[in-house]
Copies of this chain bind each other. A is one copy, B any other.
């Protein structure tokens, strides 16, 4: 009999999530049938999307790097590491169909947790958002907010690789210093600038071709005014809007959208599931070449999942938020 622990959503989120919205539970896992695999989570991913995608009570959804503990599927020998979408749980049984293999030839000195971040879902989000949604071209100017976060930090570095000027916004001076380490042309702390509009103008007086938006809300209303004609906006997330009890309101977008003929597109990385291999290979190559640096914000202990999640929503993290079991 194998025991598992898992976190459930006990109360629907209302406003900013609370520790009491979560409950840690235990259960016994069933015995393995032929073709089944028993896995244990090694690293779990925490991402802002969970705030709006977790609509139902019950097991918190999410992905992990997991190790095969016991196997009745010869394709997954004991010890194999995979990426799974099994939710916030320490152990689980899989029929193998929903497991994703790690990209081959993973170097020994590269943490496997990157398969959840820079060389995983968040890296792919930056990759497809910039290349397919923003359709950025060399020489263009790109604005990225939440730029020291898991997605923004990769997006900024891909934009530099693509030959763009990159302006990034983050919420602390430490994060701004990190943006400069990453090669951003301009980085600023949106919490301390006296005027976001003036800061954006100063950073790029001629405006922005692309805007990779992780934040939404008022930041975006101001950024829209600084776009160039035919500017493209990739809406990756809207973390500023996830945690209000009443939906916040602000300027309507239509007038600047028309006057500057802007194109704004929301996207989810799942759209490019068929091009995952291409994206992961490119990301791995850039990481190995040192063109994409990475940072993880690791919390130890499965029992700390909810607290780490709340911390990420508050912006405590630099880079990708990971819980190590």
Which residues of A line the B interface, CB within 8 A?
52, 213, 216-217, 220-221, 235-238, 241-242, 247-268, 271
Contacts and interface: CB of A to CB of B under 8 A. Distances in A.
Nearest to A257: B266
Contacts of A250: 249-250, 252
B268 A258 contact: yes
A254 B52 contact: no
**Interface class of chain A by DSSP:** mixed
A255 B267 CA distance: 11
Given A237-B258, A249-B250, A261-B268, 16 more contacts: A235-B254, A235-B257, A238-B252, A238-B258, A241-B252, A248-B252, A250-B252, A256-B266, A257-B266, A258-B266, A261-B266, A261-B267, A263-B264, A263-B265, A264-B264, A264-B265
Copies of this protein, total: 2
Contacts of A262: 265-266
30 contacts: A52-B255, A213-B254, A216-B254, A220-B252, A220-B254, A235-B257, A235-B258, A236-B258, A237-B258, A238-B254, A238-B255, A241-B252, A242-B255, A247-B252, A248-B252, A249-B249, A254-B266, A256-B266, A257-B264, A257-B265, A258-B266, A258-B268, A259-B266, A260-B266, A261-B266, A261-B267, A261-B271, A262-B265, A264-B264, A264-B265
Contacts of A220: 252, 254
Contacts of A261: 265-268, 271
